[in-house]
Structure 1
Amino acid sequence: MVWMKGKRTTVFGLLLVGLWLVLGCQQPAGKSAETVQDEIIYHVFQRSFYDSNGDQHGDLRGLQSKLDYLQDLGVTSILMTPLYESVYYHNYYSSDFEKIDSSYGSKEDYMALIREIHRREMKLYMDMETQYVTEDHLWYKDSYGNPASPYSDYILYDDKEQLKPASIVFDIYDLKGYDGLVRKITTVNLLNKEVIAYNKKLFSYWLDPNQDGQFDDGVDGFRLDHMMDDLDNKGRLTNLFRDFWVPLIDTLKSINPDIHIMAEQADWGSYGIDYLTNAKVDWVFGFRIQQAIRSLDKAKVMAYADTTFRETPAGKNQLIFIENHDMTRFSTAVKQDKGKEKVGAALNLLLGGIPSIYYGQEIGMLGESYFMKYGIITDANEIPSREAFEWFKNKDSAGMPYWYRDSGPWWDSSNVKSNDGISVEEQAPDPTSLLSTYKQLIQLRKKYPVLIRGSYASYANDHNALVSFYRQDEDGKALVLINLSDATVDFTLPADSGKAKQVYLDGKAEKGDAASKTRLEAYGIQVWLLEEA
């Protein structure tokens, strides 16, 4: 791909009139609800989503063919895992950052996809990890054992002869693929000025490939995988926020100020606030909230939500999620308990921040992360949480992307089965299904914008398993109640809540009259609009 041609300098600073940025942005009093736009991200592992050409790999055309499904679900944005060329199925360790993996399709397929996404007024975010390369990459091949190479300082070596490339995270020097292929991996020198310039051009290209300043063919932002200030805590690449990430983000924002940069903080125990304050990142992932939701512990959920939203700076935001491509799926974690699956959906979508839904989460797909369970890293151990999306009742239907067919124990013990109730075909017609719950909650957000833009504030209660919180903005206030237990809970509405109208009750839209008391059944979910008395 020849694209490093000229540097575009046009700066676009005007926002479209009437278009309000998503979640967390404030709306002037008097503005109609219709001006509030929701953002709900669908995190897709595209190799496992839909196969359009029968080669068993999910691809770009397959993703485009399923945009109707995503819009019907109610999501507004798509986050893809990396597209660039790699010997690994997940594409995180690249052999060439400038080529689209051919199993996903062509550059033309990509352009058709992104233009169609934008025609539908949806957004596309691209996942990037340029911190590492494999032995197949030009920088590695040319510099290995060759100190005279122009790329000698592009990657890190542990010796002057350049025969010992530095390890990556967890002191890994090579990685065996699920297909048996072993490739060496090393760390890129992010402090090299040529590497910095290369990354600016690489990322900038995806913002406006044809450089016409229209952005209809450009991504709406990036996810920065495994982002760190001191890469892998080795003390070799330090102050990266200041010297690598901020210059990169400044460059990208000068091209399109409306993009959003999301960072996956490498420390999953972190609230990510330093990324928001020191690295010019817009959004980070709410890992502490995710962990609390998994515990189904009311005290943890409310405490971590309090801290997360209190510490998040104005104008920044948290991505609220319950599963992703690196962890055991939520339905596996809660042992397919239908009530727990639904309260997980409610917390994901109603707490605040920007919700992110991992593909298949909305139908209760299963899969266990061996890294989370055993702490063992291999290329294959995460396949169970990255399996083919279950579109059909019959698991062998056309379009199923079984790229991992007959390749090992992850295939022999696959979670994808026929007639198990975990498919779009089986759940779409059922108003009580998990898929229907996700649709109902997303529609509830759109109907009551306070659930999109309203600030979060916890409401203390005496029940051991009842999560209660307000969402409030200048135009309204809502009280959300979520019962995390299998026992019935009686609840007295706050005395100062004024006139309370129930607008959601366990999957149904309600228009209840003013009330002072309510009852939540096992794993019950209620939303009340509060009006001044």
Structure 2
Amino acid sequence: MEKKWWKESVVYQIYPRSFKDSNGDGIGDLQGIISKLDYLKELGVGVIWLSPVYESPNDDNGYDISDYKAIMDEFGTMEDWEELLEGLHKRGMKLMMDLVVNHSSDEHAWFIESRKSKDNPYRDYYIWRPGKDGNEPNNWTSFFSGSAWQYHEETDEYFLHLFSKKQPDLNWENPVLRNEIYDMMKWWLDKGVDGFRINVINLISKEDGLPSTPGGKKYDWGGDYFMNGPRVHEYLQEMNREVLSKYDMMTVGECPGASPEDAARYANEEGTELNMIFTFEHMDLDSGPGGKWDVKDWTLADLKDVMTKWQKDLEGRGWNSLYLNNHDQPRMVSRFGNDQEYRVESAKMLATFLHMMQGTPYIYQGEELGMTNVKFDSLEEYNDIEIHNMYREKVTEGGEDHAKIMEAIYRKGRDNARTPMQWDDSEHAGFTIGTPWLKVNPNYKEINAENALKDPSSIFYYYKELNRLRKEHDIIVYGTYDLILEDNPQIYAYTRSLGEEKLVIMCNFTKENATCTLPEDIQYESASLLIGNYVEGTAEERLEGLQLRPYEARVYRLN
């Protein structure tokens, strides 16, 4: 397996709007990030992934871009961005920008031209179609609920938007558009960017003819017709030839609905497309038949199945990305751990569980503090367009129970991850001296960076130690993964192997004590503790019949 810097890195995701406000307007900005670069350096991360900071009307918090080569006024200026890049590079860190090229904003100059007339040169930059029998061109629904089509009266046609109606899909069938995108990517890379996280990149190729889903539903999920479409690999290989292969850079593609087989093509070891992808299968473990908002309890057995499938199916064929939360997902300690009496222990356990697997780990801002989900009192206090569209469809128009839908929002809503970063116990958690764009989680008095940095046993310093170990031990990066104790209902345990070296990782996912009896073929006569969330040091210890305390994690090196 070829060694690469992006395999050995740990990535930290910043959601700029919620990270740190420098000017008191209640919105995080680039100067705010610059003021916290030493904090990130102290944590020991190697790459910063910056969620979109481009010019945008902010219909979807920056994922609707109106100018790919400008910085949003709320975040600062291009000079601020250049200062941020320089500050990161000076500290030995790299910058990965968010790239959103499945769609643009409807306020982008391309779309403004595109809607002027059917024969405008920019018309073919987007996906326009006439209606059918007085209805939309097909019955696809948007990710944000409702029809995926928007009627445009002036030209008597509809345009496709798989997300908000202010996010029209770009037409990747058009080679002129593709070249515009590649030129824009090269422009950023020539400015010094070290990589791209590419938003919903496996949606860029739609099925020929844009067929309706069968069954005659007025609106139906059409994912089979626009996820992992017929020309997506052709486009990504072209992008790789034209742009990616010409730079020493990192890429991760967001790919909803991708299987390990798909990933082995997107993130192949030959390097003809992307370095890795974000999969979503483990993020759907608590989704019922009705989708994301049909919330059910996840099971440890299912988590073992999904994580092991991705580890083994990509072994030697592709590279995994490792994450349990991000700006679109609820807080991991609330979802997969215990955010009450075992918040600290379970946050550390989950970090151990994830960072010891093969792949590149991603830390979402505040994860290193054990930040939790939030329960706002009213729907009006939530900002996210997805939440409001879903509530209108299910409750206002669909008559579903308000309390049931609010409970789903508490568990799965994207604003759980977007509450401002908790820096200290002052008003608004030290995020801003103004009024924050989204309310701060009330638990900031206890959970904040200032407290964490004062406490040598904090979650922050545990993450720092995980990051240090990754730099020192190739086995953590490159070792092969094998599941053990498959049927244990409390413990997720696995090994990592590289040459003669072997690690065994044991994680108790429950609030009860658990007995860990290792398989006979694991030789542990001489074992040293590499890291554990209850214990310190590396004293040798026999592992027979080891008792794991609630949410305990231990990693042993077997000599």
How does the TM-score come out when normalised to structure 2?
A: 0.76
Deviations along 1:65-107, whole A, 9 cap, x unmatched? Answer: 2111112112111111112111016211111222111222211
Which residue of the partner structure matches residue 281 of structure 2? Answer: 288
Q: 2: distance between equivalents of 1:312 and 1:397?
A: 41
Distance 1:367 1:514, change over 3 A: closer
Q: Does 1:275 align with 2:269?
A: no
Q: Does 1:502 align with 2:529?
A: yes
Task: State the secondary structure of the residue aligned to 1:78.
Answer: strand
Matching residue's letter, 1:491? C
> Which residue among 68, 73, 86 is the counterpart of 2:56?
86
Q: CA RMSD in A?
A: 3.4
Task: Tell me if the contact between 1:229 and 1:239 (Cα under 8 Å) persists in the aligned partners.
Answer: no
**How far is 1:200 from its partner?**
0.8
Q: Does 1:223 align with 2:197?
A: yes
Q: 2: distance between equivalents of 1:382 and 1:204?
A: 31
**How far is 1:192 from its partner?**
0.8
Which residue of the partner structure matches residue 152 of structure 1? Answer: 123
Task: Tell me if the contact between 1:123 and 1:220 (Cα under 8 Å) persists in the aligned partners.
Answer: yes
Which residue of the partner structure matches residue 450 of structure 1? Answer: 475
Q: Which moved more, 1:284-293 or 1:321-330?
A: 284-293
Task: State the secondary structure of the residue aligned to 1:149.
Answer: coil
Q: Does 1:255 align with 2:246?
A: yes
Task: Tell me if the contact between 1:128 and 1:225 (Cα under 8 Å) persists in the aligned partners.
Answer: yes
Matching residue's letter, 2:266? Y
Q: Which moved more, 1:359-368 or 1:475-484?
A: 359-368
Matching residue's letter, 1:66? K
**How far is 1:452 from its partner?**
2.6
Q: 1: distance between equivalents of 2:388 and 2:81?
A: 37
Which residue of the partner structure matches residue 432 of structure 2? Answer: 400
Q: Does 1:194 align with 2:176?
A: yes
**How far is 1:234 from its partner?**
7.8
**How far is 1:265 from its partner?**
0.6
Q: 2: distance between equivalents of 1:184 and 1:48?
A: 22
**How far is 1:404 from its partner?**
5.1
> Which residue among 129, 135, 138 is the counterpart of 2:106?
135
Counterparts of residues 387-466 of structure 1 (less than 5 Å): 387-396=419-428, 399-400=431-432, 405=437, 411=439, 414-419=440-445, 421-460=446-485, 463-466=488-491
> Which residue among 114, 123, 130 is the counterpart of 2:94?
123
Q: Does 1:366 align with 2:372?
A: yes
Distance 1:427 1:198, change over 3 A: same
Task: Tell me if the contact between 1:129 and 1:225 (Cα under 8 Å) persists in the aligned partners.
Answer: yes
Any unmatched runs of 5+ in structure 2?
151-163, 211-225, 288-296, 375-381, 393-408
**How far is 1:321 from its partner?**
0.6
Task: State the secondary structure of the residue aligned to 1:187.
Answer: coil
Which residue of the partner structure matches residue 217 of structure 2? Answer: none
Number of aligned pairs? 474
Distance 1:293 1:512, change over 3 A: farther
Deviations along 1:440-493, whole A, 9 cap, x unmatched? Answer: 333343444422332211123663211111112125211111111222223344
How does the TM-score come out when normalised to structure 1?
A: 0.79
Deviations along 1:321-341, whole A, 9 cap, x unmatched? Answer: 111111222233245142433
Which residue of the partner structure matches residue 12 of structure 1? Answer: none
Q: Which moved more, 1:190-199 or 1:46-55?
A: 46-55
Which residue of the partner structure matches residue 219 of structure 2? Answer: none
**How far is 1:430 from its partner?**
2.3
Q: 2: distance between equivalents of 1:59 and 1:121?
A: 22
Q: Does 1:486 align with 2:507?
A: no
Q: 2: distance between equivalents of 1:207 and 1:224?
A: 14
Task: Tell me if the contact between 1:60 and 1:110 (Cα under 8 Å) persists in the aligned partners.
Answer: yes
